[in-house]
Structure 1
Amino acid sequence: MRLVQLTVPTGKRETILEILDERKIDYVVTDEISSREYTAVVYFPLPDAAVEPVLDEIQNAGIEEDAYTVVVDAETVVSRRFQALRDEYEDGDVGSDRISRQELQAEADDLTPSFPVYVVMTVISAVVATAGLLLDSPAVVVGSMVIAPLIGPALGASVGTVIDDEELFVESVTYQIVGVVVAIAAAAIFAVLVRSLNIVPPDLVLSSVGEISERLAPDLLSLAIALGAGVAGVVSIATGTSVALVGVMIAAALIPPAGVAGITLAWGQPTAAIGATVLVLVNLLSVNLAGLLTLWYAGYRPENLFDLGETEQRLRQRIVGLVVIVLIFAVFLGGITYASYESGNFEQDAREEVETVLSQDRYENYQLLEFQVVMDDNYPFRNAERVIVTIGGPPDQSAPELADTFHERINGHADQPINVEVRYVGVLERGNQ
């Protein structure tokens, strides 16, 4: 529910009250003596879904845009006429639950901080995320998402497009580009500082850190996360619900990958930064695409219906452009996903070959203790480089031929030569005396 406070310009009092009476809207009028431009202030409650059409009708009646209008939340309205008004406008679909176009525009503006604050908060968020990634601490990484000011620009571009506010669109796109560049740069500078001061082990292998390795070779599931974050963000802002947690979701799709990209650059591994950088870009574009589609589906249109055709054309162009770019990135992520799938199949087949060999009668005294596939560092498309097979058996026996057998059978499932290393561990078994 909303309470609308509308200043009545001179000569428009009867027109406004006539509109409210025709729609059976309860109102209270107070005389205004502080300015000759306005003669009264009208207060009237409205359901959320009625704010936009009522304000549009009042404006079409000749009320200038500079008329002072305030829309605030109303906790409770006790009125039979208000209940009838709610029944008229709220029919249970998406459009009846959304806030007005005017409120949406104001909300998008409020979610975007001033440029200096935005840059400072982005730098802090990237630094905290980088520290959490190097510490392999999920809690710290989540904390970095909370302070990231990304939801405003991420959703502002979509809002600006559907309501034909090009100034908001350009500002939001600029903020997003600056945010990505600043986040990656801040993460790289901080990681260089950490490494030069030996705060982390100088021989730290990035692929051994769980929070980092999972973002070095992203897969198609990352695309689903970004699209979900975009839809959730738009739904939360369009329905007037809290956007704090959704902002964390959007930041989760952007800040940690940006931190990983900065870390890999600081470690002198630019090729390893490809996967993380692509993840940042595809997440950013997916959030914008989901926002555009969701807002248009929710029924938001430009204020001036004469601009509707031009806005629809611009919307289609931006959607098509985003879809094409996202699909290109999706193919890239699909390649990474397929490479991971092939690596998983190879590991399973290789393990089965080792177990099949050891199940033979002549190797009944041997058992598989550990099986490990070592991947190369060619991110993001990693391949198996080496297989380590650890076998337990009697201390005074060995089976040198196993190395050749394993090598032949394992390489039968590989697209390129794989080194096979066999390690023997003596096992002593003592029975109860």
Structure 2
Amino acid sequence: MRLVQLTVPTGKRETILDTLDEREIDYVVTDETSSRKYTAVVYFPLPDAAVEPVLDEVQNAGIDEDAYTVVVDAETVISRRFQALREEYEEGDVGSDRISRQELQAEADDLTPSFPVYAVMTIISAVVATAGLLLDSPAVVVGSMVIAPLIGPALGASVGTVIDDEELFVESVTYQILGVVLAIAAAAVFALVARMTNIVPPGLVLANVGEISERLAPDLLSLAIALGAGIAGVVSIATGTSVALVGVMIAAALIPPAGVAGITLAWGQPTAAIGATVLVLVNLLSVNLAGLLTLWYAGYRPENLFSLGETEQRVRHRIVGLVVIVLVFAVFLGGITYASYETGNFEQDARDEVEQVLSQDQYERYQLLEFEVVMDNDYPFRNPDRVIVTIGGPPGETAPELADTLHERINRHADGSVNVEVRYVEVLERGD
């Protein structure tokens, strides 16, 4: 619930009070003596869902933007008329639980810091994320998400679109673009310094670092994370609940992939940066798309009804544009997902072939100790490069023809030629 404090311009007192009386809204009026332009201040409680329609009606009665209106949280209101008002406006859905358009705009503005602060916090967040990625530390990576100031610009573009605030939209889009560039650049510079000064091991293989490798070849599940973050972010801001944890989720979709993109550039592997960069972009666009759809579904519309048609057209065009771009990236991610699926099938089929060969009578003295598929470095669409088969057998015995047999059987399941390495390990068995 909200407590509204409204200044009453000269000559509008009776009109505004009549409007509140018609709505059966309790109010308190105090005289205003600090200015001739205003004659009174009206205080009245409202349910969250009633703030926007009541303020719109009052504004139509003569309150212009030069007057100030303050809307604050109210902990408790004890009044039969207020309860009746609550039953009239609250329907138990997102639309009735949401804050007013005026509060939404103010909230979006508050969540976006000044650009110097935004730039510094983004750079710090990217540097911390890069350190956590190189250390393979999930805790440090999560810490970088907490300080990332991305939720304001990520949701501000959607808010600006639905309420017809082009200034907010342009500012938010600019912040997002610059934020991504700053994050990747800061990560690249920090990773390059760490590599040149040997802070990290000189022979570090990025594919062997779990926090990095999972973002070098992202799959379609990344879309679910970004869309969920966008919807949760908008629902949290629109209902006036805390957005801190949701901000962490949005940062999780953007900051670590940006850090990985910077690290791969510092390692001189631009092709490996493709997957992480695409992940950043698709996550960013998905957050904006989910936010835009959720806000429109929640019933937010521009203040001026005469611009409603123009705003609807603009929203429609931006939704279509975002959907098309996201689908293009989704096809790319789908290709990576399919490649991973094919690799998994190849690994299982190859292992089965090895086990079938070793089950033959002439190889009954041998046993499979270890099986490994080594992938190539052609990110993001990696393919099997070689298969390493470690076999245990009696001391001094080998089966030279086994390598040829395994090579032929395993390559039946490969699209291209895959090298097969067979390693023998002597196994000593002792009786009791």
TM over 0.5: yes
Corresponding residue number in structure 2 for 1:157: 157
**Helix, strand or coil at the partner of 2:35:** coil
| Larger mean Cα displacement after TM superposition, 353-362 or 101-110 | 353-362
Corresponding residue number in structure 1 for 2:68: 68
Kindly report which structure 2 residues correspond to 1:328-367, keeping only aligned pairs within 5 A, or say none: 328-367=328-367
Give the C-alpha shift of residue 364 in structure 1. Answer: 1.5
Give the C-alpha shift of residue 393 in structure 1. Answer: 1.1
**Within 1, Cα distance between the matches of 2:263 and 2:307?**
46
Kindly report which structure 2 residues correspond to 1:312-331, keeping only aligned pairs within 5 A, or say none: 312-331=312-331
**Within 2, Cα distance between the matches of 1:147 and 1:415?**
45
**Within 2, Cα distance between the matches of 1:222 and 1:103?**
32
Does residue 423 of structure 1 match 2:403?
no
Corresponding residue number in structure 1 for 2:199: 199
- Aligned-pair identity in percent equals 89
Kindly report which structure 2 residues correspond to 1:50-199, keeping only aligned pairs within 5 A, or say none: 50-199=50-199
**Within 1, Cα distance between the matches of 2:76 and 2:400?**
83
Give the C-alpha shift of residue 34 in structure 1. Answer: 0.6
Read off the aligned partner of 1:356 and give its amino acid letter: Q
Read off the aligned partner of 1:110 and give its amino acid letter: D
Corresponding residue number in structure 2 for 1:256: 256
**Within 2, Cα distance between the matches of 1:22 and 1:375?**
73
Give the C-alpha shift of residue 22 in structure 1. Answer: 0.5
Read off the aligned partner of 2:174 and give its amino acid letter: T
For each residue in 1:294-346, what CA deviation from the matched residue of structure 2 results, as whole angstroms up to 9, or x when unmatched? 00000000000000000000001100100010000000000000000000000
Corresponding residue number in structure 2 for 1:411: 411
**Within 1, Cα distance between the matches of 2:430 and 2:245?**
59
**Within 1, Cα distance between the matches of 2:76 and 2:151?**
30
Give the C-alpha shift of residue 66 in structure 1. Answer: 1.6
Read off the aligned partner of 1:327 and give its amino acid letter: L
**Helix, strand or coil at the partner of 2:3:** strand
Query: How many equivalent residue pairs?
Result: 432
Does residue 210 of structure 1 match 2:210?
yes
Give the C-alpha shift of residue 92 in structure 1. Answer: 1.2
**Helix, strand or coil at the partner of 1:3:** strand
**Within 1, Cα distance between the matches of 2:219 and 2:66?**
50
**Helix, strand or coil at the partner of 1:270:** coil
**Helix, strand or coil at the partner of 1:83:** helix
Kindly report which structure 2 residues correspond to 1:287-298, keeping only aligned pairs within 5 A, or say none: 287-298=287-298
For each residue in 1:20-47, what CA deviation from the matched residue of structure 2 results, as whole angstroms up to 9, or x when unmatched? 1111100000111011111111000000
**Helix, strand or coil at the partner of 1:412:** helix
Please report the RMSD computed on the Cα atoms of aligned residues, expressed in angstroms: 0.5
Read off the aligned partner of 2:28 and give its amino acid letter: V
Corresponding residue number in structure 1 for 2:220: 220
**Within 2, Cα distance between the matches of 1:208 and 1:63?**
64
**Helix, strand or coil at the partner of 1:374:** strand
**Within 2, Cα distance between the matches of 1:411 and 1:363?**
20
**Helix, strand or coil at the partner of 2:8:** strand
Corresponding residue number in structure 2 for 1:386: 386
For each residue in 1:378-401, what CA deviation from the matched residue of structure 2 results, as whole angstroms up to 9, or x when unmatched? 000000000000001111321111
Read off the aligned partner of 1:86 and give its amino acid letter: R
Read off the aligned partner of 1:215 and give its amino acid letter: R
**Helix, strand or coil at the partner of 1:387:** strand
For each residue in 1:257-311, what CA deviation from the matched residue of structure 2 results, as whole angstroms up to 9, or x when unmatched? 0000000000000000000000000000000000000000000000000000000
Give the C-alpha shift of residue 121 in structure 1. Answer: 0.2
Read off the aligned partner of 2:215 and give its amino acid letter: R
**Within 2, Cα distance between the matches of 1:364 and 1:66?**
91
Read off the aligned partner of 2:391 and give its amino acid letter: I
**Within 2, Cα distance between the matches of 1:10 and 1:243?**
39
Read off the aligned partner of 2:360 and give its amino acid letter: Q
Give the C-alpha shift of residue 347 in structure 1. Answer: 0.3
Corresponding residue number in structure 2 for 1:270: 270
**Within 2, Cα distance between the matches of 1:431 and 1:82?**
88
Corresponding residue number in structure 1 for 2:283: 283
| 5+ residue gaps, structure 1 | none
Give the C-alpha shift of residue 62 in structure 1. Answer: 1.6
Corresponding residue number in structure 1 for 2:16: 16
**Within 2, Cα distance between the matches of 1:19 and 1:313?**
33
Normalising by structure 2, report the TM-score: 1.00
| Larger mean Cα displacement after TM superposition, 57-66 or 298-307 | 57-66
**Within 1, Cα distance between the matches of 2:93 and 2:253?**
29
**Within 2, Cα distance between the matches of 1:397 and 1:95?**
76
| 5+ residue gaps, structure 2 | none
**Helix, strand or coil at the partner of 2:271:** helix
For each residue in 1:54-92, what CA deviation from the matched residue of structure 2 results, as whole angstroms up to 9, or x when unmatched? 000001112112211000000000111100000000011
Corresponding residue number in structure 2 for 1:311: 311
**Within 1, Cα distance between the matches of 2:64 and 2:126?**
45
Read off the aligned partner of 1:140 and give its amino acid letter: V
Runs of 4+ in structure 1 deviating by more than 4 angstroms, as ranges, are none
Read off the aligned partner of 1:399 and give its amino acid letter: A
For each residue in 1:102-128, what CA deviation from the matched residue of structure 2 results, as whole angstroms up to 9, or x when unmatched? 000000000000000000000000000
**Within 2, Cα distance between the matches of 1:63 and 1:340?**
61
**Within 2, Cα distance between the matches of 1:88 and 1:95?**
13
Read off the aligned partner of 1:306 and give its amino acid letter: F
**Within 2, Cα distance between the matches of 1:68 and 1:123?**
37
Corresponding residue number in structure 1 for 2:44: 44
Give the C-alpha shift of residue 366 in structure 1. Answer: 1.0
**Within 2, Cα distance between the matches of 1:396 and 1:381?**
41
**Within 1, Cα distance between the matches of 2:238 and 2:66?**
24
**Within 1, Cα distance between the matches of 2:296 and 2:354?**
57
Give the C-alpha shift of residue 368 in structure 1. Answer: 0.6
**Within 2, Cα distance between the matches of 1:93 and 1:144?**
34
Give the C-alpha shift of residue 135 in structure 1. Answer: 0.2
**Within 1, Cα distance between the matches of 2:43 and 2:94?**
27
| Larger mean Cα displacement after TM superposition, 103-112 or 396-405 | 396-405
**Helix, strand or coil at the partner of 1:71:** strand
